[in-house]
Each structure stands twice: as C-alpha cells, then as structure tokens.
Amino acid sequence: MYVPVVLFYNPAGGACAVEKSNLLKKSLSETLALYYPFAGRVVDAEYIDCTDEGVTYLEAKIHAKLSEVLRNPDNETLDLLFADNLQWEDTNLSTLLAVQVSYFECGGMAISMCMSHKLGDAATLITFIKDWSAMASNSGEHVIPLFDLTSMFPQDDLPIGKEHVNDKGKLATRRFVFDALKIAALKAIVAQKVQNPTRVEVVTALLFKCASSTSGGRAVLCQNINLRSRLVPPLPENFVGNLAWFFPVSKLEEDGEIELPGFVGQMKEALAEFCNTYASKFRGKEWCLSIKQHGEKAKELYGSDTAKYICSSWCRLPIYEVDFGWGKPVWARIGSRAGKNVSILMDTRSGDGIEAFVTLEEQDMAKFERNEELLAFATYNPNPIEELS
C-alpha cells in the first residue's frame, strides 16, 4: 500500500519552473543518498534490498490556476496530482516512492508523494519530505535518518502478518473541517465530565459516533498512535519505519448510543492502559510477546458481526513547515479512499483546527454526510484558500 500526501504552494517570485525542477531533482537525489532504502526494491515481506535503483519522478503541467482547482477541491480532480494513481493502492510496482510535481498556469505548484508503507508510516513520510525541502532550501535543518530498529526490536518468532489489501469497492471519501471555535465548543461539552479533552479526542469521538450510527450494528473504534513518543524511553522522530500501533477503545453494542464525554473518557483510559501495560515493554526481547498479548486482547472485541472503524491522526506532524525555498504550503491533504471505515485527521494550516478525511461505503456516506450533529461542528469541504483570508 502507498501512503499519499500532496502539498500546494502559491506562486512565488524568483526561480522559474525550470530552475525549480532542477533544484527539486538535484535535492531529491541528495536526500535519497541519506534515505537509501527508499531507492531500493522489495525482496519479500521482511526485506528491502538497497539497490539504489531510484524512485519514480514525474512532472505535469496543469491547464488551470491553483485558485481554480482549490475553489472546488473535489477528489476526482485532486487525485490526478498523484503519480500513476498510486494513492492507497496495493500493487506490485517495483518503486517504493513516487513523486509528481505539478505546475499550474499561475506559477503555483503541487508536490505529491506516494510512499510504500513497507518503508514506514506517516511520520516517516513527513520527515522525509521535510528533510528533502531542507536539502533544497539549503537551510541546514535536515536530520540524519535512523534505520537500525532491529537492534531494539529483534524479530525473534514474530509472525509476519498478511499484507493489508485496500478493497476500495464502492467507497466514498469526504473532507470535513473543524475550526478552532467549533472544536472549543466540542471540548466544552466533553469537559463537563472529562478533564482536559484534546481536540483529536473530541473530533474522533464525534466522527465515530456519527459513522457508527449509519449501520446501527456492533462497532469498535481502533485508534492509531505514533509509538515514538510513547515508548520508554521515547525514540526520536527521525527513526524510520512503521512505528505506529493501534489500541481498541470500546465496543458499541447494537443500537447502542454514544455519549461524547463518556466515550472520550474511555479513549483516555484505553490509551493509558495501552501505554502502561504494553508500550513500556515494546523494547528488546519482550516486545514480541507484548505485541502478541495485545493482539489477543484486541481480538476479544472483534467479531464477524462487528464493524471496525479506524482513526489515524496526522496532527502535529510538521507538514506545514515543508519549505523548498519558495514558501510554506498553503494547503496539504492526503489522497482519497484510504480504506473502508477509515478516518485520517490532519492539522489545518492555522494549526488549531482539524481536517478530517472520512472514507465509508457509499450508502453509509450518504447518511453520514447529512448527520445534523456532525454538521453542527464541521464544514463540508470548504475552499482551503478562503479559510486563510
């Protein structure tokens, strides 16, 4: 599976498109010298051969202005900005990284990347992009990536699970934006019973409540987290690899009703239990056993009649700090159709709001996008440029 992200840049004076193209290609090559596995090839489920065969790099001219495309940021148009339509795809394509640079008539740009999940998680992808931009701008802010995870996480007898297959089927993705004022209102509701609710917690709880209500059956929320800061001791952000894990929050029984304060309380309890019981053991020889024990406990909540909803937060990843030398991005987003019942949260450019990209089956989305409680706190797919004005 390829993890996709695209960054949009306003027109900037100075370098022309040809000069920018040359700079991007040169700095990408220099960055890949540090991130050498990214230019390699997959041998099997456990091994990447660092063959230095390179990555896919495409350039495109868009016969429209950036403002025209973002005025109505629909998925069908924006997905054209990704190389070879790789976003969230499962494919045998040999390249592990695909870049597409799109030039708009006005001088604006879009830089997209699709990274194989075999290389790492969202934090790895954003760290790579930020280091690439630091190399291009000669800011000196790039870091040396760390790859030696096997010394801390020996494989032992940990089984290699089946690779996730993203069955896109009849899926629909919608973007909902929660501004700072609406998030504050959500927090106020939850804070009546729960201390210090975070913006990610209250938005996640509302999304799960509204999404699970579309089916009316049993449901469980699986929350993804970045393990780097949760391990004891924590790991630096420049550790490359899949250092994300999940914890199940709660099982919603058929026709059950979610109360936001109570559910956020359950989220906090589940995270605390995961960190205290499992994350503290995710080092050395104990980590394989800890993963197996956590997996077995999680299965107790799952069943063939239980709908699983996944929420992954990209909030606080420094995506809006990616400056190649012509300014920071005016907008960043993922590709559409991440998977059935998957929600991905990203910061707004201001840093105090949240953009939620929600993917459901089409019939469920038809109900979800009309949910009155959701629309009381979120705006459906606004123009990202107007949000800044």
Count the domains in the chain. 2
For residues 180 and 234, membership in a common domain is answered with yes
CA separation, residue 248 to residues 202, 215, 280, 329 (Å): 16, 19, 17, 34
pLDDT of the residue at 389: 43
219 domain residue, yes or no: yes
179 domain residue, yes or no: yes
CB 115 within 8 A of CB 137: no
Residue-wise pLDDT tens for the chain (389 aa)?
Answer: 899 999 999 998 777 899 999 999 999 999 999 999 999 988 776 778 888 999 999 999 999 999 999 998 999 999 999 998 888 877 666 789 999 999 999 999 999 999 999 899 999 999 999 999 999 999 887 788 988 766 666 666 555 555 555 565 799 999 999 999 999 999 999 999 999 999 999 999 999 999 999 877 788 999 999 988 888 788 888 999 888 888 888 766 666 678 999 999 999 999 998 888 777 766 666 666 777 777 777 777 676 778 899 999 999 999 999 999 999 999 999 999 899 999 999 999 999 999 999 999 999 999 999 999 999 999 999 999 875 44
pLDDT of the residue at 109: 96
Task: List CB contacts of 169: < 8 A, sequence separation 6 or more.
Answer: 340, 361
User: Active site includes 142?
Assistant: no
Q: Cβ atoms within 10 A of the Cβ of 121, count?
A: 23
pLDDT of the residue at 111: 98
Q: Rounded to whole angstroms, how far apart are CA atoms 28 and 32?
A: 6
**CATH code, domain with 113:** 3.30.559.10
49 domain residue, yes or no: yes
For residues 79 and 180, membership in a common domain is answered with no
Of 112, 137, 162, the one marking the end of a domain is 137
Q: Rounded to whole angstroms, how far apart are CA atoms 164 and 184?
A: 36
Catalytic residue among 117, 142, 294, 347: 117
For residues 227 and 123, membership in a common domain is answered with no
Of 86, 113, 137, the one marking the end of a domain is 137
Of 235, 323, 223, give the one whose Cα is nearest residue 282. Answer: 235
Catalytic residue among 79, 90, 323, 352: 323
For residues 206 and 248, membership in a common domain is answered with yes
pLDDT of the residue at 150: 67
Structural domain containing residue 94: 2-137
- The pTM assigned to this predicted structure is 0.93
User: Active site includes 84?
Assistant: no
pLDDT of the residue at 94: 78
Of 85, 116, 137, the one marking the end of a domain is 137
pLDDT of the residue at 167: 60
